[in-house]
Amino acid sequence: MSTPDLPTAARRWADEARLHVNALSPDNYARLLHADFVQESRRSAPFTFNREQALGSVDTMRQMGLHVGGIDVAVAGAYHLLTQRRYEHRQGVVELLAVTAWTTDGLLLRMIEFELDALDDAMVELGTLAGEDPIIVNAYW
């Protein structure tokens, strides 16, 4: 089922977050992240960052000229979102899938990254985190 106009808190907050991240302001970025924020990559070079490590990367992002874009792929409940993310910087472009979990007050609690070809794994993770089945919001992705 595809519902491209399905409004959820997670979709609104993700749009706002991309604006703040692209501004590369440490203060704005800090306001986005929950105190217990964790970023996990399940890509070819796995890593896990906590909030402080993520905030510490803002200067590197600025030096790289990073711009973050994204296309919403699926939602699960009001607070969980799967996006196809595009990180553009001076050295090139990186595309991946990202599952995000948001708190009820709009703070990013968790981000889990997957390779683009791991859509099934990302959808399972989205549903597991949300405790409900995901809904496709962009069938053309």
What's the CATH code of the domain at 45?
3.10.450.50
Which residue is associated with the tokens 């808190």? 9
On whether residue 107 sits in a domain, the answer given is yes
Q: Is 102 part of a structural domain of the chain?
A: yes
| Number of independent structural domains in the chain | 1
Indicate whether 2 belongs to any domain.
no
CA 112 to CA 83: how far, in whole Å? 11
What pLDDT was estimated at residue 84? Answer: 96
Looking at residue 141, its pLDDT comes to 60
Average pLDDT over residues 1-5: 42
Question: How many CB atoms sit inside 10 A of residue 12's CB?
Answer: 14
pLDDT tens digit sequence for 98-112:
999 999 999 999 999
How far apart are the C-alpha atoms of 78 and 134, rounded to whole Å? 11
4 inside domain: no
User: In this prediction, what percent of the chain has a pLDDT beyond 90?
Assistant: 58
> Would 17 be classed as within a structural domain?
yes
Of the candidates 122, 5, 105, the residue with the CA atom closest to the CA atom of residue 134: 122
> pTM of the entire structure?
0.86
Distance CA 105, CA 92 (A): 34
In a domain, 128, yes or no: yes
pLDDT band at 2 (very low <50, low <70, confident <90, very high): very low
In this prediction, residue 4 carries a pLDDT of 42
From 79, 134, 74, 81, select the one nearest 107 (Cα to Cα).
79
Closest by Cα among 72, 71, 75, 78 to 103: 78
Q: Where in the sequence is the domain holding 42, given as residue range(s)? A: 9-136
Mark 55-91 as b/e (b = at least 16 C-beta within 10 Å): beebeebeebebebebebbbbbbebbbbbbbebeeee
